[in-house]
Amino acid sequence: MNVLIVYAHPEPTSFNGAMRDLAVESLTAQGNSIEVSDLYAMGWNPVAGPGDIDGPHSLATRFSLAREQTVAMENGTIAADIAAEQAKLTRADLVILQFPVWWFSMPAILKGWADRVFARGFAYLPGRKYDTGMFKGKRALVVATTGTSADTYAPDGIDGDILTVLWPIHNGLLRYTGFDVLPPYLAYMPAREDDETRAKQLADYRQRLETIAETPHLFFHPAEDYGANERLKPGVLARSGQQRNV
């Protein structure tokens, strides 16, 4: 299996760094091929814009990112740094997005990686989303650390259910583009824990990686559960993330 780890933390000696190293070691020992995109070490440019296209734009008077991405993918004129990451994604059977939760989401550098790499024409097109997404058959796993406890991210916690917090990533980025999304692995507030607890968090992560082939996917409603208006049909019980019946 080919695995891509997209890693977004500025400090190599952080707990995130330890988790990245553990993942590389564990997955390699299982016979997998591993690639790591260390975004801070790469000096990744997170700002999508005109520079993402090599050569003249299809419209000289007005820049549309979606249009220019589509044309660039058709013509092979997407910027070289984007093309390199797209090649990694194409090779990957499993993609791990690893990051600290900052302001209830992923760091800007990782969001910018998605903005640029998940280009229209590569990651999605009309009629190619969710069940028919471009990355159908690939799996994805979010691995993250938090600054607060598991209790705060419980369904009745002050920060909200962690699956609701991660819904824009799980559904809006990964499932939208066709991935089968695995339940996330969260290491809660490792900076505030003792060495014994941090060691257990790493051991638990190792176990997740060693059993990843048997891990059930998160549930997302299939296309047949939706009507022509792309809302759940009457009588279908909402079961995905933050969806609810109204």
Instruction: Kindly list the domain boundaries of the chain, sorted by start residue.
Output: 2-221
Q: How many helices (H) and strands (E) does the chain have?
A: 8, 6
Identify whether the C-beta of residue 181 lies closer than 8 Å to the C-beta of residue 220: yes
Superfamily of domain 2-221: Flavodoxin domain (3.40.50.360)
Q: Mean pLDDT for each consecutive 10-residue tract of the chain (246 residues)?
A: 98 96 97 98 98 92 95 97 98 98 98 98 96 97 96 95 96 98 96 91 97 95 95 94 86
Q: Helix or strand or coil: residue 34?
A: strand
Supply the pLDDT for residue 242. 83
d(CA 9, CA 19): 11
For residue 200, the model assigns a pLDDT of 96
* pLDDT score recorded for residue 241: 75
Q: Report the predicted TM-score, pTM, of the whole model to 2 decimal places.
A: 0.95
Q: What is the DSSP letter of 116?
A: H
Q: Residue type at 215?
A: T
pLDDT of residue 44: 98
Residue 60, pLDDT score: 84
Closest CA to 118 of 64, 173, 43: 173
Contact 110, 6 (CB under 8 A): yes
Return the pLDDT at 136: 97
